[in-house]
Chain A
């Protein structure tokens, strides 16, 4: 925790937060969004397949989607740390931030579990998807939706942001 607060006061973090350049904070936020789209979007396609949509597609070739999911994950791990150090004091004081982290961890675990439980099955594509496989897919979809919801609500439910939102909405109404 102290480490992130210390990092928040480095010149790099201040530049990230304060700079008017679109290559600072906005670009990090953009990459975080694209990483989310890659990771959650492709995980959703795999989960839909496990639940019976596009059932004629064999699972084996879908393994090729996993490296792209991991690319999305690493983009977001790096940009996530950058977003954290740009605003550490506020984020660390926000309970929703920790909820998001827990659900991101659960989401990643769900993908790992699907990879090792469903895709490593020697009878892959020869037998129907097991109940466990389908349960994992449902859990994964729910967990990722929750992680996204928590991520979005960080901007509204935190100690500082609530006041900020009320002020902005008031300006428009």
Chain B
């Protein structure tokens, strides 16, 4: 199995999953079923998380097949452009779904704008995922290709990558922001996890909720700047084992944070120790984020990036 196979395997999760998530969500709204609504939000969130490795594996697939004569570069470029847009929309849908889950967690219904936001963005996501999947299929299946190739351009994603490489200030600026985002994310998550572990026990955990937007800000900064690096020089990541591990650790750390989102420990009042499970999860969270930093830092050393 090569990385092209991985992409062909993984790409069904966001395409099919977004449709299922949207279907469940609409069903929940029609039947006014809160339990189903929460489930559909969780599905949309998990699908958003899974979309990231699918996008990365796409570049790996491209490298595996690009030398073949029957692969159209224009079709690849268009597929890649739409895929990035679908990824962004899916990310927004996932963020809105996460916020909705938080509202449910606090025993309140999500605000109307949040519900309609999820509806709108999941609809857009499903539409773009469908286009992405169709264009992806056209790369190899000549029989379903339109007769005439409409564009001869390199594609927007390639153009963005070329812009980064042509302008020397972009890379160092993004790296600096990546480090600042790291501090924001690590500091906030560490504070919450340390409270779970029993340091600052006199602080009710719910009072730390105000840190979540800052953690999200740190994560978003690093996601965007990280994507800039990936788009500019994909081969130094797709051929880098440290990058694969970094993504694996990031997904596990994301699931870890998700667990803490749902866990009853958030109701822990002042002075009360967290249960053992919450402590294990908090400890694992610190380990996983340090793992993300480890493999990120090792990208140039274990792997081939700079």
Contact = CB atoms under 8 A, between A and B. Distances in A.
A34 B290 CA distance: 8
Contacts of A138: none
A61 B306 CA distance: 41
B210 A37 contact: no
Interface stretch (B109-117, B140-148, B181-189): B181-189
A89 interface: no
Contacts of B171: 165, 169
Contact of B207 (A26, A54, A173): A54
Interface residues of B, number: 44
Contacts of A120: none
Contacts of B259: none
Given A40-B187, A41-B190, A57-B208, A145 B180 contact: yes
A36 B179 CA distance: 9
A52 to B, nearest CB: 9
A60 B271 CA distance: 13
Nearest to A173: B165
A94 interface: no
Contact of A26 (B203, B204, B298): B298
Interface of A: 22, 25-26, 29-30, 33-34, 36-38, 40-45, 48, 53-58, 60-62, 64-65, 68, 144-145, 148-149, 151-153, 155-156, 165-166, 168-169, 172-173
Interface of B: 162, 165-166, 168, 171-172, 175-176, 179-180, 182-188, 190-191, 194, 199-204, 207-211, 214, 232-233, 236, 290, 293-294, 297-298, 300-302, 306
12 contacts: A30-B294, A40-B183, A42-B190, A53-B211, A53-B214, A57-B208, A65-B194, A144-B183, A149-B176, A156-B172, A165-B168, A172-B236
